[in-house]
A and B are shown apart, each in its own frame.
Chain A
Amino acid sequence: MLAMTAIAALLLVRNLYVMLLVLPDEKHQNAAYRIMFFHVPDAWTAFLCFFLAMIASVLYLVKNDLRYDGFAASITEVGLVFGAANLVTGMIWGRVIWGVWWAWDVRLTTMLVGWLMYAGYLMLRRAIEEPTERAKMSAVVSIFAFADVPIIFFSIRWWRNQQHPPPADLPPDWWMALFMNWIPLLLLAGVFLMIRMEQERIERQLNGLRRTVHAF
């Protein structure tokens, strides 16, 4: 875990150097376009987390193993953090490009709706005490919530009059910077996931101990 964090930190320092001092400015956005190198990989990380949460939820419903439920809850929370970073950096970038903090275009709106659905997933988990009931209900919500992710992803193609720039127009060195910055964010997501999985394990242990205490 420590090695992953160290590699992520080194890569992030390297990427900041490339972003700020190597890549040339963009004609219309000047310095602000560099926000994209965090904004876009944050979204990719969030989508990957939500996809894995959906797979784990299906596996829970098939196998009834609470470890899948713990994995789904952990990775959803990590996805929400990266989703929040995506939304906030997008708002700041939008303020420069569109002159407003929030534009109700389809991509922004569907991303917000998706984020709220996954936030609802975590709130639902707090509301149900019985572990198997909680796991079953959460799994169903997670699978339904994932339906929003392809809509967010393909919204630029499906609704062509949107304010988001089409990604095909990006120069190759920007693509390289995007992917290079995705690697440390994925590593950080992996570290967060491992910590959360351990906390879920402790939670299960606590539930067992609580039952023992009540049995006396």
Chain B
Amino acid sequence: MDTRNFTYLCYGLVAAWLILCVYVISLGARERKLQRELERLRLLVEEKER
């Protein structure tokens, strides 16, 4: 493969994957936040029912 403009090819591939990786991390963070909130509300409902 000709290496002219190879740097830009690397930038392109890294950018494409970086965006997807950042989204996957944000999905994970949101999942954890939702689970924490779900647990908190469940405990609150149980407490109020007692």
Residues 95-122 of A, flagged 1 when their CB comes within 8 A of B and 0 if not, give 1100000000000000000000000000
A-B contact count (CB 8 A): 90
Convert A181-200 into 0s and 1s, putting 1 for each residue whose CB lies closer than 8 angstroms to a CB of B: 00000001000100110010
Q: Is B23 within 8 A of A88, CB to CB?
A: no
Tell me if A35 and B12 are in contact (CB < 8 A). Answer: yes
Contacts of B48 in A (CB 8 A): 213, 216
A203 to B2 Cα, complex, angstroms: 51
Q: What are the residues of chain A within 8 A of B20 when measuring CB–CB?
A: 81, 85, 188
Complex: chain A residue closest to B11, CB-CB: A92
**A30 and B12 in contact, given A192-B23, A210-B41, A213-B45 (Cβ under 8 angstroms):** no
Contact B12 A93 (CB under 8 A): yes
CB < 8 Å neighbour of A38 from B6, B12, B37, B45: B12
Contact of A96 among B8, B27, B41, B42 (CB under 8 A): B8
User: CB-CB < 8 A to A20: which residues of B?
Assistant: 1
Size of the chain B interface, CB-CB below 8 angstroms: 29
Residue of B nearest to A36 (CB): B12
Size bracket of the A interface: 35 or more
Complex Cα–Cα for A81 and B26 (A):
11
Which residues does chain B contribute within 8 Å of A69, judged by CB atoms? none
- Asked if A92 and B15 sit within 8 Å, CB to CB, the answer is yes
Minimal Cβ-Cβ distance residue in A for B24? A192
Q: How far is the CA of A104 from the CA of B1 in the complex (A)?
A: 31
Choice from A25, A29, A81, A213 contacting B19 with Cβ under 8 Å = A81
Q: Are A95 and B15 in contact (CB under 8 A)?
A: no
| A residues in contact with B24, CB < 8 Å | 192
A34 and B20 alpha carbons, distance in the complex (Å): 18
**Cβ < 8 Å to A, chain B residues 1-50:** 1-6, 8-9, 11-13, 15-16, 19-20, 23-24, 27, 30-31, 34-35, 37-38, 41-42, 44-45, 48
How distant is the Cα of A55 from the Cα of B31 in the complex, in angstroms? 26
A21 within 8 A of B: yes
Partner of B16, one of A21, A38, A95: A38
CB-CB nearest 5 A-B residue pairs: A35-B12, A32-B5, A30-B4, A209-B41, A216-B48
Q: Give the interface of A toward B (CB within 8 A).
A: 20-21, 25, 29-32, 34-35, 38-39, 42, 81, 84-85, 88-89, 92-93, 95-96, 188, 192, 195-196, 199, 202-203, 205-206, 209-210, 212-213, 216
